[in-house]
Amino acid sequence: MVDPPRGSLRVLLLAVFVLLAGCSGLPATGQQTPTVQPTVENFSYPSGWSQEGITDLTVALRTHDETVENVSRTSRLVITDEDSNRTVVRTVDTDAGTGSIRFIATQFDTDKHAYYSAEGVFEYDRTTGELSRMPDENWTTADVATVAGLKRPLRNLEVNATETVSADGTTAVRYTVTGIEDPDSVPSNTATGHVTVADEGFIAEYNITRGNDKFTRQTRYDLSAFGNATVTRPAWMPDESP
């Protein structure tokens, strides 16, 4: 048997040592320390919120509005009753100066899509194919993006912070809905679901079911593409003037 040259043996032993060191978990140079996720106890609660719940709904909604103002985004609000479903999707693209609203109501077989741009406002009925043009209509980002009905499901709501999560790239806290404050004072006396609030201050999403012995209503809301939503010219728009 021929012995290997001593130089080759040293190289082999060095390679084995490095391999074993890597397998044994020795720290690699330049390795970053993982970010520690906050807990509900040390979460940075935005104005209007606390670990115990909603401290002031008016302040909480104002904080939400101020945080999302003039930021590109998409919001979806879905309201489901026992015999109907309504969906409103709103998107604003502040860079392009465009916006869109899609409204669907199953009870009335309604499906309308509005497009907002420097050309004005155009509304397309996806059911009938009818196109309405309002070229001189003035509009603002708030006109398109403001979510009507965002507040109602949150009124008199009892919630409790249960965990921290990631929402659209930011840290958020999730509340579990535990009931209704003073249930005898409002039509709906029961509530279940959850609410997620980002540490930046915006309401990221919620899924809330409220009701009583006679009715039940589920409301789902979510905000997405925060800061990078886009609105392109729909295919149903008329050709641009040359």
Q: Where are the domains of the chain?
A: 49-224
Supply 237's token pair.
Answer: 């728009």
> How many distinct helices (H) and strands (E) make up the chain?
3, 13
pTM higher than 0.95: no
Q: What is the dihedral of CA 42, 46, 50, 51, to 10 degrees?
A: -40
**Per-residue pLDDT for the chain (242 aa), expressed as one digit of tens each?**
445 444 443 433 333 333 333 433 444 455 665 667 899 999 999 999 999 999 999 999 999 999 999 999 999 999 999 889 999 999 999 999 999 999 999 989 999 999 999 999 999 999 999 999 999 899 999 999 999 999 999 999 999 999 999 998 899 999 999 999 988 888 889 999 999 999 999 999 999 999 999 999 999 999 999 999 999 999 999 886 54
Say which CATH architecture domain 49-224 belongs to.
Answer: Clam (2.50)
